[in-house]
Amino acid sequence: MNDFIIGDNLELESFFKQNTNAIHEQNPTLRKTAITQIYQKVTDPNIAQSDSLSQQILLKYGKVLLKAFSDTNEKVREMSIKSMIELITNSEDNEPILSYVFSVLIERSNCQDLEGISHLPEVMRPPPSQLPTRLMKFIEESEEIRLLLIQFLYSIMCKNDSDNLHEYIDDIVDIHRAFLMDPFGEVQKEACKSLSKFCKVNHQMLLHFTEKMGRAILHPLVNKKSPVRIAALEALSAVLLCGVWKNNAFVFEILTGFKDPNSVPIKAFFEPMHHINYFATLIIDPKQQVRQAFIKEIGFWLRGLADRWDHHPRLVPYLLSGLFDIDPSIQEAALQIIEDVGKEWEIEKEKDIKNVRQLGIEPAWILDGKLSQLPLPPPFKERPKLGMRGFIKNQVRKMWPAIYKEIVDNNEENRLRASHLMTLGVLFSEDYMTQFLDNFIPNTIMAIKPGQTKIEKNVQLNLQKTYQLLGRFCDYTSYSFIIFSSMRGKYIRDEQYMRSATQALSWLCQGAIEATFEGIGTKMELLSNIVDLLCENSMIESISTINHLEIQDLLNTVKKSIEKMGTQDEVMAFNEKYQYQLNLLDNVINYIQNFNAILLNQQIQQTQKLQYSERVRLLKVDNLKNDFLFGDSGWKNVISELIHQLHHGSTQAYQLTDLLYDFILPNSLPEPCDFILKLTQLLLQSFEQQHSQLYIQIILKLSAIAGQWLNSLQQKQFTQKLLDNLLVTFKTISGYLGKKRDIGKAMSKDQLSLDYYTRTVIALCSCYQKFYRKQYNMIVVCVSEFCNLFLPYPSSKHLLDSKNQKFLLPNLQLFCFDAIDQNGGEQNQETRKHLFSILSYINQFIPVQETYLGDAHVIENYQKYLQQLLRLCIEEKDLQFQDLYKIMIKELCNKTRNNFLQELEIAKHNNQLSRVELLYVIINQ
């Protein structure tokens, strides 16, 4: 101390004495002036460049400056800290004053008891929280001053080695922890920088402080500013260099949010608790720089830590996540890290892979190197190298249980990331995945479902890639039994699950066929097994609106595989063996598409929706027999073939409708008839595009089948709902056909159409006699609209039901008179108008003759028919409808005048005055 004066430095000594004394003055202005002058003097180049001079100033006046750290004036505290930074940085040896420095820093950072539990006994202290902790109580309230304090600490870390600092390790760690938990981002950033320096210099002494420092870094890791998060990652690497084995394991458990299932804190019984996965937040950080820094640090941890092998299972999932980052540079960086780690793995496992290298042993799927360059998803441009595959596959097997859980998570983002990891895991594992298939397939099938959102569609795309890679790498015999059992519902009896299994099999098949060369070869057995599976009775019966699209996709995959990858001999052999089964499946699927998927949803599609896939050879009608049940594969086959051939204008459609006729009429179940009516509606929707004579005939024939079935019902067999549905359908058919202007003309020239038309109307008339009390009005409307189809009217002799030898017009006459007599005045206005319309329709067929006795095909007893009309006209109380009767009778009088004169004589003879009066009016009008 006595050697402070060097040369003639009395002036310098006087300066420091004067200003350091002024620091103790009560006047803040004097203190600020003094400390400012001291700072200016210590930053003077003459002093700053002299290590010995700075050393002597620090030793003699450092305590005064440290005391000024607690001054009430912020400016004084600021300049005193800056002065100490300059003196520490420029001095030769700081060791004599370090004890005073750290005592002041402890006091200013308030780090004596950061957890606030020092007063508790050891057994009562709660475990530290996994959540980030922030310092709440500050001695130094100014953020700028706290920033200078951590910069001051950093200058000490830079200037002193471990020999000088080993006495203060505990204090230094606590001071760093306090500043790391500071709410001010710049303070955290500088604290991370200082901690990194401290750990790198003193890592051998910090083994037992690793966990404490790791917890302190949690707060900077979740800071809102990206530079702070990057600095925290760099500090974390430095901290991990200090600890090995269990110390680093504790840190990684904290960072990944690991919870020991066998250890539950008492606090968890009273309030909710949650853990944060900090690595998960970093890998999806919105800032590209943070994600890139995280991937870089993972690369360092995988290669630079002494106990790195213990931490690989926790780090590899995040490294793989870098491969599907949105930024290409991060993808390339992650791929490069995997390649570098793979090279180290090859060196360490040199003895284990010696045979693989020297003998060139390759998996079976690669076909002696012919398929080594099959396309892979980005960022892969080629097949991963041996070391990369070996390193990742050994770690990824530990990921599968977590992936199975995440892939069906409620959170879409979690499912997306799990699907990415799953794809990469399969890609690196290749045929090593065979041993996991018994768990992999049943668990991941549940995640396959139609995607509605953009994220969900990406999930399904990743699942598709995964299963295609599985089909490529694994022998089909290893997964056939598992996926077939899933489709049969042996694992889970659920329609959605079996639907997903079907989609999975389609993707597996695509991948398997992709890995072929010059023909399908042994994998032809896979395609054959798929067709055999789909043709099982239970599988055909299970095809429904829920899974028919997936079944069709699987079927198309089989067909395309044969066409594109099969040799000519393989294609011919397969078609010869399975053409009938393929066409049968086509028909069943088309049946579902055209009826269950359309009619039940009341979304009738246009004709183009009825077009089927091209067939090599159509099924022949001769092979179709009516030994089937409603709803089974035989029924679906017949219906689908009917529409197919009708759409293409094949006359074999008549034979198919004959099969339906023979099946439906003897059947007591109402469902087939109801289905036929739906089929008729579907054909009506296609009528706009087809508009052919064949379509008209089939529509009328189907409606005739339904009408005859309805007429054959016994009273106890029908339900009100069934009758309502059937008659509404008849009304729809008649109303729809009635809108076609030329329909009557087209039908008039076709005896077959007239036959079906007659059969339908007669069935409706007969149906009235059974059910008039319940559906009288509806039946009248249906009959009336069917009668209005013909303009111009055909010859009445053509209106014959040739099968039952019944003419239409006599049945219509009986229907009208019975309906009027049974209901009388209870009829509503609309129904009576329809009845008059039917009678007018009948009258159009009566010929013009002076005397007409009647015909079997029109009216068997014309005179009796006139008497019925006259009676109804006289008994009619409504003047409006009475006038309508008179007009109708007058039209008949103009055609058959002698019949009316003869009727007048009979009325006079019988003294029927009201009838005589009416006839005089009609004849003489």
Q: Are 870 and 889 in contact, with CB atoms under 8 Å apart? A: yes
Phi then psi dihedrals of residue 516, to 5 deg: -130, 160
Q: Of the given ranges (314-323, 453-462, 609-618), which has the lowest mean pLDDT?
A: 609-618
In a 10 Å sphere around its CB, with 0-12 CB exposed, 13-18 middle and 19+ buried, how is residue 678 labelled?
A: middle
pLDDT of residue 786: 73
**Alpha carbons within 13 A on the beta-carbon side of 892:** 29
pLDDT confidence band for 738 (50 / 70 / 90)? low
pLDDT of residue 713: 66
CA distances from 735 to 284, 391, 729, 789 (A): 63, 74, 10, 9
CA atoms of 561 and 565, how far apart (whole Å): 6
pLDDT of residue 827: 61
Q: Is 12's pLDDT higher than 90?
A: no
- Higher per-residue pLDDT: 547 or 400: 400
Phi then psi dihedrals of residue 800, to 5 deg: -130, 135
Phi then psi dihedrals of residue 801, to 5 deg: -85, 95
What are the start-end ranges of the H helices in 350-447? 354-359, 386-396, 400-406, 412-429, 437-445
> What own/partner pairs with CB < 8 Å and gap ≥ 24 does 123-131 have?
126/265, 126/267, 127/265, 128/215, 130/218, 130/254, 130/257, 130/275, 130/276, 131/218, 131/275, 131/276
> What own/partner pairs with CB < 8 Å and gap ≥ 24 does 172-176 have?
172/102, 172/198, 173/206, 173/209, 173/212, 173/213, 174/106, 174/109, 174/111, 174/112, 174/114, 175/102, 175/105, 175/106, 175/109, 175/111, 176/213, 176/216
Q: Residue range 592-619: average pLDDT?
A: 41
DSSP 273-337: -----HHHHHHT-S-HHHHHHHHHHHHHHHHH-TTHHHHHHHHHHHHHHGGG-SSHHHHHHHHHH
pLDDT confidence band for 11 (50 / 70 / 90)? confident
CA atoms of 404 and 424, how far apart (whole Å): 14
To which residue do tokens 């001999």 refer?
569
- Higher per-residue pLDDT: 176 or 137: 176
Q: Is 144's pLDDT higher than 60?
A: yes
Q: Is 4's pLDDT higher than 60?
A: no
DSSP 586-651: HHHHHHIIIIITTTTTT----GGGGPPPP-SSPPPGGG--S---TTSHHHHHHHHHHHHHHHTT-T
- Phi-psi sector, 257: left (phi>0), alpha (psi -120 to 50), beta: left
To which residue do tokens 């002065």 refer?
83
In a 10 Å sphere around its CB, with 0-12 CB exposed, 13-18 middle and 19+ buried, how is residue 627 labelled?
A: exposed
3 state DSSP class of 458: helix
Q: Are 324 and 318 in contact, with CB atoms under 8 Å apart? A: no
In the numeric block, which tokens belong to residue 737? Answer: 């056909």
Q: Are 619 and 583 in contact, with CB atoms under 8 Å apart? A: yes
Phi then psi dihedrals of residue 465, to 5 deg: -60, -40
pLDDT of residue 620: 45
- Higher per-residue pLDDT: 16 or 607: 16
Q: Is 69's pLDDT higher than 90?
A: yes
* Its pTM surpasses 0.75: no
Q: Is 401's pLDDT higher than 90?
A: yes
Q: Are 796 and 857 in contact, with CB atoms under 8 Å apart? A: yes
pLDDT digits (tens, 9 = 90+) for 333-343: 999 999 999 99
Q: Which residues neighbour 809 within 8 Å (Cβ) at sequence distance 6 or greater?
A: 796, 799, 842, 845, 857, 858, 859
3 state DSSP class of 43: coil
pLDDT confidence band for 493 (50 / 70 / 90)? confident
Q: Which residues neighbour 19 within 8 Å (Cβ) at sequence distance 6 or greater?
A: 34, 35, 37, 38
Q: Are 514 and 472 in contact, with CB atoms under 8 Å apart? A: yes
pLDDT confidence band for 606 (50 / 70 / 90)? very low
Q: What does pLDDT average to over the chain?
A: 83
pLDDT confidence band for 769 (50 / 70 / 90)? low
Q: What percent of the chain has pLDDT over 90?
A: 36
Query: What letter does residue 205 receive in the DSSP assignment?
Result: G
CA atoms of 641 and 651, how far apart (whole Å): 12
Q: Are 185 and 203 in contact, with CB atoms under 8 Å apart? A: no
CA atoms of 538 and 540, how far apart (whole Å): 6
What are the start-end ranges of the H helices in 620-750? 633-647, 652-664, 670-690, 693-711, 720-738, 743-748
CA atoms of 754 and 54, how far apart (whole Å): 122
Phi then psi dihedrals of residue 807, to 5 deg: -90, 150
- Selection from 460, 450, 425 nearest residue 440 by Cα: 425
Q: Is 209's pLDDT higher than 60?
A: yes
Q: Which residues neighbour 669 within 8 Å (Cβ) at sequence distance 6 or greater?
A: 630
The count of other CB atoms within 10 Å of the CB of residue 826 is 8
Angle in degrees, CA 705, 709, 714, rounded to 5: 170
Give the burial string for 679-707 (b: 16+ CB within 10 Å, else e): bbbbbbbbbeebeeeebbbbbbbbbbbbb
pLDDT of residue 389: 93
- Please list the residues that pair with 800 across neighbouring strands: 807
Q: Residue range 417-421: average pLDDT?
A: 95
Say which amino acid occupies 553.
D
Q: Is 698's pLDDT higher than 50?
A: yes
3 state DSSP class of 800: strand
pLDDT digits (tens, 9 = 90+) for 778-789: 777 777 777 776
- Higher per-residue pLDDT: 457 or 720: 457
The count of other CB atoms within 10 Å of the CB of residue 132 is 18
pLDDT of residue 366: 83
In a 10 Å sphere around its CB, with 0-12 CB exposed, 13-18 middle and 19+ buried, how is residue 730 labelled?
A: buried
CA distances from 816 to 703, 813, 847 (A): 21, 5, 20
CA atoms of 834 and 777, how far apart (whole Å): 9
Q: Of the given ranges (510-519, 727-736, 912-921), which has the lowest mean pLDDT?
A: 727-736
Q: Are 581 and 547 in contact, with CB atoms under 8 Å apart? A: no
